[in-house]
Amino acid sequence: MKDRCDEICEELISFSEGELAPARHHRVAVHLGGCAACAREAERLAEVLSRTRALSTPEMPEAFWADFGAAVRQRVAAETPPRAPFFQRVEAWRDRLTWLRLVPALGAAVAAGVMLAFGLARIPQVPPSPSPAESVAVSDSLAIAQHLDILEHLDELEHLDLLEHLTVLQAPELGRLPARS
């Protein structure tokens, strides 16, 4: 009920002045008929409004009105203008820096240049044709490489060299082992 009374009290001035729509005016009148607290508040407000209307409005001297416009203009000029919102200040700052608009284009140009430089550096180069002397050296190396299986058994070949020094192998016609001395 308290919320309803607060809502009605907010509309009491409009009710007293006759500014409410007919349906709303009827609802406030019905509530005032059933709620003594709101009815007392409406009576107090009506008394204050009637006393206020009974007051006389003093006439201002002619000199006041003559200086009024000038005084208002002087006070307005003396006040500092309100500070612009942040986004407007940033936008104004950005508009003063016209060169800043070139930064994205410049950045794109630099990126394209770097990519082009790396791309050109990675192009495979055709090896120069070898000279005849180099061709001979390569063919000799190739011949040696073809006989690598022999070189893998080099340690066995070294043992064969030792066998050549044996006298049995030197004189096979004897068919016997040489005598030991």
110 domain-assigned: no
180 domain-assigned: no
| 150: containing domain | 142-169
45 domain-assigned: yes
pLDDT value at 62 more than 70: yes
Last residue of a domain, one of 54, 70, 97: 54
- 28 class by beta-carbon count within 10 Å (0-12 exposed, 13-18 middle, 19+ buried): buried
100 domain-assigned: no
For the entire predicted model, the pTM comes to 0.34
pLDDT digits (tens, 9 = 90+) for 26-61: 998 998 899 898 999 999 988 988 888 888 888 888
46 domain-assigned: yes
**Cα(95)–Cα(158) distance, integer angstroms:** 90
The mean predicted confidence, pLDDT, of the chain is 78
123 domain-assigned: no
Last residue of a domain, one of 37, 54, 71: 54
Structure tokens at 145: 């490489």
pLDDT at 99: 67
**Cα(39)–Cα(51) distance, integer angstroms:** 19
Last residue of a domain, one of 54, 81, 96: 54
What is the number of structural domains in the chain? 2
154 domain-assigned: yes
How many residues are present in the chain?
Answer: 181
22 domain-assigned: yes
